[in-house]
Structure 1
Amino acid sequence: MNDAHPSPRPPRLLQQIRERIKTLHYSYRTEQAYVYWIRFIIRFSGTRHPREMGKTEVERFLTFQP
């Protein structure tokens, strides 16, 4: 069977974060800060999805000294 309307893709990570923050009634500045740090750790980890990261990657990020 050929569907004329394929199923929509699930929201991307940052969109999910933004929606959750709004649901919790956090301020816009808090949303900006969360998104900033999430992007930062993703870039730091070589653009890996946070779902793929574990304790080692988080420790490496938190103990990094430039």
Structure 2
Amino acid sequence: MEQSPKKLLEQVQDVIRLKHYSYQTEKTYINWIRRYIFFHDKHHPKDTGSTEIEVFLTHLVT
């Protein structure tokens, strides 16, 4: 039986836990990634580029 690939946030969570980061750091990273995704109308981060990152960061500053 084939397993479906893990979702992005699950992959991030796995890497954070592998690196033994604190639980609070994990929650913070996941929250920022989620905010970024929702800001760009639920587009996957792999489909965005430096322009979208700049727009998001500018939005946070202003």
Q: Identify the TM-score tier after normalising by the shorter chain.
A: over 0.9
Q: Deviations over 1:38-66 (max 9, x none)?
A: 0000000110000001011000000112x
* TM-score, normalising length: structure 2: 0.93
* TM-score, normalising length: structure 1: 0.87
Q: Post-superposition shift, 1:25?
A: 0.4
- Secondary structure in structure 1 of the residue aligned to 2:41: coil
- Rg: which structure is higher? 1
Distance (whole Å) between structure 2 residues aligned to residue 9 and residue 45 of structure 1: 25
Q: Which amino acid aligns with 1:46?
A: D
Number of positions where the alignment pairs a residue of Structure 1 with one of Structure 2: 60
CA RMSD of aligned residues (A): 0.6
- 1:47 pairs with 2:42: yes
Identity of aligned residues (%): 43
Larger helix fraction of residues: 2
